[in-house]
A and B are shown apart, each in its own frame.
Chain A
Amino acid sequence: MILRPTKVSYQVIAFYTGKVILGVGLLMVIPLLTAIGFQEWDAAVDFVISIALSLIIGFATQAYFRTEKDLNWGEGLVVSAGSWFWAVLLAAMPYWLSGHLATYLDACFDTMSGFTTTGLFMMQDLDHISVALNMWRHLITFAGGQGIVVIALTFLFRGTAGAYKLYVGEGKDERLLPNVVQTARAIWLVSTVYLILGTLVLWLINLYLGFEPVMGFFDAAWSFMTAWSTGGFAPSSFNGMYYHSAARDIVMVIVMMIGTMNFALHWAIWTGKRREILKNLEIQTFAVTIVIFSGLAIVGLAKAGVYEDALSMVRKVAVMMASAHTTTGMATIYSRAFVTEWGPIGLTAAIFAMMVGGSACSTSGGIKAIRVGLIAKSTYADIRASILPESAVIKTRYHHIKDSFLNEPLLRAAYTIVVLYLAVYLFSAVVGTFYGYDFLQSLFEGVSAASNSGLSCGLTSPAMPEFMKVLYLFTMWLGRLEFVSAFALGGHFISVFKGK
């Protein structure tokens, strides 16, 4: 029997959602200060309006739905999933006020893309936007990578038991420390230390590349944010093609790779367990798949004879496949080059890489390497079982932070998520084909959105059908939350109407 949510339940959901909304409002103070620093008064007013609007809604919900009650599982998941929509709606305000987006839907598309660390965008005349708006674009990617709720957990929540439900609801399920608020703070600690180091390294490279010191610094910070969060936005319409530097490409690939690692793995390495990186099933799976897909792309490009020398080809493939597999979306080729130069084999290699994605409990999207690794191990075990005598007992062990045995519930959960991802990928491709786009290109774009990659082969544009924009917006959200919270939110709406 489905139970209709009680008044208290609504109160709890509204109260905690209000806290997340306040977090989004406070985050906008950074671009506001940037606008003031650069004397971009029009942008500054845009951010004042957006901050004030977020605070009005945040304080109002907090004041009028004040409660001492803690969240239960269902409410926690609904708050997590619902908060993303509120965050997207409010974060889109400065985008829309800037005048660089045709509709509010386009603005929401960009903010959803940012928060989910996807990187597809609708913003027009990107090369003439304010420094403040560029800061906001990259900041929401950075914040979204760690998780909007994680931000709120870090700064606005006390250590309640309900906080853990919010944390899980955002697609993260590994506790680095016993207390979930401490875990959220640990995630921020790891990210902030890397942000400082990464920005410094990229800034030095930028100075060498001929940047002005101030804009070189901002560019470095944004580039780090986008690579670490596996986001894909860039301050220039040329994206990764703006820099023309092998050194920068190498650093960006390293940052993308680190960014796609599980936060639990980061924490293990931080606390001295360095051998974990070699033993971890996720890393092993990622290493195998990236080599296979990169090999496939190299074969395709060599066959097509696109690049004159092997070094150029390897460099392009290394950056683009790292970008696809980590679901970053940074591009050192034009979007259309996937179609006009990389051809069907290269396109397919990139699609597979995006499908698999990075690590669970990280900033990246996609099916996740751990699930592919578990399914591969289980398939191998099944093959062994068919060869060995019937009486043989096969137990399959795997290592992820600690040694564990494969079991039925774990595999079922992995298969369920994989099937759901594949269904969303396929559905997006079919819808694209229905609108007259080529199937492979539709699949590429659909996979890119749902796996939060952000690479484009040219389909995504402000001129694309509105339904496809809404579909991608929705699949970006589904992919980021790994379905569970989205189902909880759907279940909540059903219970409102059908519950007893």
Chain B
Amino acid sequence: MVKITKAKKRIALEITILVVVMVTLVLSLTIMKKPTERELKWVNPNEVSSSQLVEKPSLFNKHEIEFTGEAVTARMVRDNGDGGKGAWIHLNDDSYMYRSVGSGGSLSGYNSGVAVWVHDVALTDAIKNFGGYKTNGDVVKISGIFNAACSVHGGDIDVHATSVEVVSKGLDTVRVVPKWKVAVAIIFVLLAVMMFAIDHRRTLREKFGQWRPLNERD
């Protein structure tokens, strides 16, 4: 009769643990899902969109335009060269302007927008929310001169705005951690601790040669 030693039992136990870990992993991965997407019927509010401005810049060069978009990231206040302060803002007129992915907006490509230079910083004071992870930015309407290659600003494509108006206020994005994510995280952390323990035991055994705890000796 084949004698089952403690060492063989240990190996069998570790293999069983590995199988259990792998099966649990696969099962956990199956409950992962993409965040719910809500379809949004969206129409670009601009007569000339940012994509059109970029595609045919020379066509609109030095033209007065009106442009509406979500203020994103932050306002950058700088000297305006006349002893006062101006500001750079960036307006996106993409499908995320009213609802970002974090607020349940559907994926519809890259962001798209234009840089706007406002010579008098006071005009931008009404913009309180800038789009980011936790916020949908204020939707802002500006009018001004479009430059295909602005000589004042190093050849950038930009708009020099003469008026700025907040069309709709932005809101904080409510991000709730889905329960399935928390469940998967807990399962994975437990499995990782288990695998670490197995690996660590083997490291100790390797380090101390033939040493075994008494209860594990053959």
Query: A residues engaging B (CB < 8 A)?
Result: 40-43, 45-46, 48-49, 51-53, 55-56, 59-60, 62-64, 66, 97, 99-102, 124-131, 209-212, 215, 236-238, 241-242, 244, 246, 249, 306-309, 311-313, 315-316, 332-334, 336-337, 340-341, 461-463
Q: Are B133 and A241 in contact (CB under 8 A)?
A: no
Q: Are A334 and B188 in contact (CB under 8 A)?
A: no
Closest to B87 in A: A210
Q: How far is the CA of A379 from the CA of B78 in the complex (A)?
A: 53
Q: Are A316 and B154 in contact (CB under 8 A)?
A: yes
Q: How far is the CA of A131 from the CA of B132 in the complex (A)?
A: 9
Q: Are A127 and B131 in contact (CB under 8 A)?
A: yes
Q: Which residues of B contact A337 (CB under 8 A)?
A: 54, 57, 157
> Shortest CB–CB separation between residue B204 and chain A, in angstroms?
12
B99-116 to A contact mask, C-beta < 8 Å, 1/0: 011100101111111010
Q: How far is the CA of A19 from the CA of B105 in the complex (A)?
A: 39
Q: Are B202 and A238 in contact (CB under 8 A)?
A: no
Q: How far is the CA of A209 from the CA of B76 in the complex (A)?
A: 6
Q: Are A56 and B155 in contact (CB under 8 A)?
A: no
- Which one of B38-46, B190-198, B210-218 is at the A interface? B190-198
Q: Are B18 and A48 in contact (CB under 8 A)?
A: no
Q: Which residues of B contact A308 (CB under 8 A)?
A: 149, 151, 155
Closest to A68 in B: B206
Q: Are B149 and A211 in contact (CB under 8 A)?
A: no
Known: A125-B101, A242-B90, A312-B149. A131 touches B107 (CB 8 A): no
- Which one of B1-9, B161-169, B179-187 is at the A interface? B179-187
* Chain B interface bracket (under 10, 10 to 19, 20 to 34, 35 or more): 35 or more
Q: Are B88 and A210 in contact (CB under 8 A)?
A: yes
Q: Are B151 and A59 in contact (CB under 8 A)?
A: no
Q: Which residues of A contact B177 (CB under 8 A)?
A: 41-42, 45
Q: Which residues of A contact B57 (CB under 8 A)?
A: 337, 340-341
Q: Which residues of A contact B134 (CB under 8 A)?
A: 40
Q: Are B196 and A59 in contact (CB under 8 A)?
A: yes
Most buried by A among B102, B154, B188: B154
Residue among B110, B113, B156 making CB contact with A332, cutoff 8 Å = B156
> Shortest CB–CB separation between residue A14 and chain B, in angstroms?
13
Beyond the given A52-B192, A126-B111, A241-B157, please list 7 additional residue pairs across the A-B interface where CB-CB is below 8 A. Answer: A55-B192, A125-B96, A244-B158, A307-B151, A312-B151, A336-B54, A340-B56
Q: Which residues of B contact A128 (CB under 8 A)?
A: 96, 100-102, 131-133, 136, 173
Q: Are B181 and A46 in contact (CB under 8 A)?
A: yes
Q: B72 in the interface, Cβ–Cβ < 8 Å?
A: yes
> Shortest CB–CB separation between residue A38 and chain B, in angstroms?
8
Total A-B residue pairs with C-beta atoms closer than 8 Å?
Answer: 189
Would you mind naming 14 contact pairs between A and B with Cβ atoms under 8 Å apart? A40-B175, A48-B185, A52-B185, A56-B191, A60-B21, A63-B14, A99-B102, A127-B100, A128-B102, A128-B136, A128-B173, A210-B78, A236-B72, A463-B109
Residue among A42, A55, A127, A306 making CB contact with B73, cutoff 8 Å = A127
Q: Which residues of B contact A209 (CB under 8 A)?
A: 76, 78
Residue among A130, A211, A246, A461 making CB contact with B76, cutoff 8 Å = A211
Residue among A63, A211, A212 making CB contact with B199, cutoff 8 Å = A63
Q: Are B154 and A246 in contact (CB under 8 A)?
A: yes
Known: A56-B191, A125-B96, A125-B105. A49 touches B110 (CB 8 A): no
Q: How far is the CA of A33 from the CA of B206 in the complex (A)?
A: 33
Q: B92 in the interface, Cβ–Cβ < 8 Å?
A: yes
Q: Are B195 and A59 in contact (CB under 8 A)?
A: yes
Q: Which residues of B contact A241 (CB under 8 A)?
A: 115, 156-157
Q: How far is the CA of A101 from the CA of B14 in the complex (A)?
A: 37
Q: Which residues of A contact B25 (CB under 8 A)?
A: 53, 56
Nearest 4 pairs between A and B by C-beta? Answer: A312-B155, A210-B76, A52-B188, A237-B111
Q: B55 in the interface, Cβ–Cβ < 8 Å?
A: yes
Q: Are A41 and B188 in contact (CB under 8 A)?
A: no
Q: Which residues of B contact A237 (CB under 8 A)?
A: 72, 92, 110-113
Closest to B189 in A: A52
Known: A127-B131, A128-B132, A241-B156. A59 touches B192 (CB 8 A): yes
Q: Are B133 and A238 in contact (CB under 8 A)?
A: no
> Shortest CB–CB separation between residue B6 and chain A, in angstroms?
18
Closest to B102 in A: A128
Most buried by B among A101, A128, A241, A311: A128
Q: Which residues of A contact B149 (CB under 8 A)?
A: 306-308, 312, 341
